[in-house]
Amino acid sequence: MYFGGDYNPEQWPEEVWDDDVRLMREAHVNLVSVGIFAWARLQPDEGEFDLGWLDRLLDKLHAGGIAVDLATATASPPAWLVRRYPDVLPVTETGTVLGPGSRQHYAPTSPDYRRLAAELVTALGRRYADHPAVAMWHVNNEYACHVRADFSEHAARAFRTWLADRYGDIDALNEAWGTAVWSLHYDGFDDVRPPRASPTTQNPSLVLDWRRFTSDSVLELYRMERDALRAAGATQPITTNFMGAFPAMNYWDWAAEVDLVSHDGYPDPRDPEAFRHAAFAADLMRSLRPGRPWLLMEQAPNAVQWRPSNAAKAPGQMAAWSEQAVARGADGILYFQWRQSRSGAEKFHSAMLPHSGTRSRTWKEIVELGGALEQRDAACPPRGDVAVVFDWENWWALTQVDLPADVDYQAEVFAWYRALHARHVQVSFVRAGDDLSGYRLVIAPALYLLTEDGAASLEQFVGSGGTLVTTAFTDVVDENDRFRPGGYGRQLADVLGGEPVDFFGVLPEDGRSARGLDGEPLAVITMVEDFELHDGEALARTGEGEPVLVRHHYGSGTSLHLACFTDRSGIDQVLDRATATAGVRPVVGGLDPTVEAVTTARGVTLINQSRRPTSVTTPDAAFELSPYEVRHLIA
């Protein structure tokens, strides 16, 4: 089990380093991420490297028994680079050049940035490939976190090349994007531009490909660094830190290119549901590479500094959230950052070692957790019986502005995950088109963009005995965001026992509801389908008689289609029915929803994620969990 954090020794005189190593040992730290923002220190000018200080530091850490996750340091270009090559700077959709003075000021497709980044990475790789302290490599940092898309001329050129590879010729692109609408026809790839600021809505097919390109082009930059490290002789695992359900990068694609998934999570201590958001991110990270541990690369030891108001973590809360990650498959708990900065934008961000030093509560909690984790081996939990579909391409397609109603895909997926989490059901995430065999229940909220592979996997799943839950706005468009010939619902009509023939927005003042299961009202919110029943059975209908929950037996399985979106209570009604049909059981029954329960490789971990004591009764025992207490029940 790894324990440690980002270590930025370049911010401190060397005399402090000995103290750092001594205190790291006291805190049970065994891994630190070094040099993430140290480019200016490592390379004072083009072609000139200053690695002596890093040699001394790595030797010191190694002598202290502390391993290093060595950064490639490409996340913040130095002043000389911008001075000499100003067009490395990224550009926003309105044409504003994002200047230096903070960080991440590079266009991912800039040839000069890529060339100079490769030189730095190669120099570091050659020097440290065999250094005994280096346990892994940390490429760049949180790719695209500040610059979610770059609209520069470099990007425009790279986009055209990407499109030419995808479509072969411009006629195929015109067809795929439906450019007969609004005279958008292109005569050649050179006519295509990034979706920069425009009078009104850009062609959504273009925007979808732009998002694919943006994720692919940044991934390509990651691959360049990774391959440069390998070419320089590095044999250690290579990773870059993901950010949970981060909209701009398709982490299903990215996960295949890293040796281990690592994740940065900053839930807001003020949000009583923060632990469920953290669980969502943890399960997503685990699911990206099933059966392999992942690393919590960053979390805050206490408060952050970047929200308008930054609340403390309650005593025990940091440990509870860390234990949650371990239970969900993390093999290391790391923080931003080791020693609190004296200056700069993050000087108010908590650190493992605050300015108040070893007398602080933060330090004491860090040392205690480090000691507890030292005794622990990492292990992946089983994947569970329930899969929730989470698909980036679908997310991108749904972020367009001109829909029957705005659909917040991430919030919708979270709403279903949340309900399952609160009833203590173990969940994995899948990508549309994955093999679903072995799951009992699959939930596919708002799967608007449904490819043929995606539809085939859902059909196969239900046909062979699974239970599928779908919502409104499923199976609407193809991979280019076009309707299929004949309209919507073309692929799943047989499975769902009917098809949507139209979609309408619903606002709270419309006051729509249906009579749901067991006569309970079922809220109809955001959107309702005009759903044409074939051989499905309506389990709930609106006052006007429109079906809003449709059950259908298909093959040896069952589908439940919610022809609208609904609220928490509606989701619970559907889940009661779906889990009973599928035979899905909670990890532990009868728990308070604020107690988190995870089936681990060794038994069950229970975590009281609230500020109140909570009693727990299992078939074998009854006990009380104090606030944020963690209890491991060994099977």
Do 229 and 125 form a contact (C-beta atoms < 8 A)? yes
532 noted as active-site residue: no
Query: Shortest approach of ligand GLA to residue 349 CB, angstroms?
Result: 5
Among residues 10, 14, 93, 142, which one is catalytic? 142
Residue (170 or 304) nearer to ligand GLA, CB: 304
Q: What angle, 0 to 180 degrees and rounded to 10, lies between the N-to-C axes of helices 15-26 and 52-63?
A: 30
Long-range contacts of 54-63 (CB under 8 A, 24+ apart): 54/127, 54/128, 55/127, 56/14, 57/9, 57/17, 58/34, 58/128, 58/131, 58/133, 58/134, 59/133, 60/17, 60/18, 60/21, 61/21, 61/32, 61/34, 61/133, 62/131, 62/132, 62/133, 63/21
**Token reading at 7:** 């270590």
Residue (235 or 305) nearer to ligand GLA, CB: 305
Tell me which residue has tokens 């074998």.
620
Residue (336 or 395) nearer to ligand GLA, CB: 336
Residue (85 or 251) nearer to ligand GLA, CB: 251
Query: Shortest approach of ligand GLA to residue 597 CB, angstroms?
Result: 29
Among residues 298, 323, 546, 629, which one is catalytic? 298
- Find, among 395, 537, 582, the residue nearest to 473 by Cα: 395
Point out which residues bind ligand GLA (CB under 6 A). Answer: 141-142, 264, 266, 298, 300, 304, 336, 346, 349
Cα–Cα dist 4/31, whole Å: 5
SS3 62: helix
Query: Shortest approach of ligand GLA to residue 142 CB, angstroms?
Result: 4
Do 552 and 537 form a contact (C-beta atoms < 8 A)? yes
Query: Shortest approach of ligand GLA to residue 298 CB, angstroms?
Result: 5
Residue (39 or 473) nearer to ligand GLA, CB: 39
Query: Shortest approach of ligand GLA to residue 48 CB, angstroms?
Result: 26
- Find, among 354, 259, 261, the residue nearest to 305 by Cα: 354
Query: Shortest approach of ligand GLA to residue 32 CB, angstroms?
Result: 13
Query: Shortest approach of ligand GLA to residue 6 CB, angstroms?
Result: 6
- Provide the strand spans (E) within 318-374: 330-335
The sheet carrying 547-554 orders its strands as 427-430, 386-389, 441-444, 467-470, 557-562, 547-554, 537-542, 513-515, 521-523
**Token reading at 365:** 């909690």
Residue (304 or 419) nearer to ligand GLA, CB: 304
Query: Shortest approach of ligand GLA to residue 299 CB, angstroms?
Result: 9
Do 217 and 251 form a contact (C-beta atoms < 8 A)? no
Neighbours of 357 (CB within 10 A): 11
Strand (E) or helix (H) holding 606: strand 603-608
Query: Shortest approach of ligand GLA to residue 346 CB, angstroms?
Result: 6
Provide the 8-state DSSP code for 326.
Answer: H
Cα 280 to Cα 209, 420, 432: the distances in Å are 27, 11, 18
Residue (159 or 335) nearer to ligand GLA, CB: 335
Q: Which residues of 486-506 are buried (b: 16+ CB within 10 A; e: fewer)?
A: eebbbbbbbbbbbbbeebeeb
Residue (162 or 266) nearer to ligand GLA, CB: 266
* CA dihedral of residues 314, 315, 320, 321 (deg, nearest 10): 40
Residue (104 or 559) nearer to ligand GLA, CB: 104
What are the residue numbers of the active site?
Answer: 142, 298
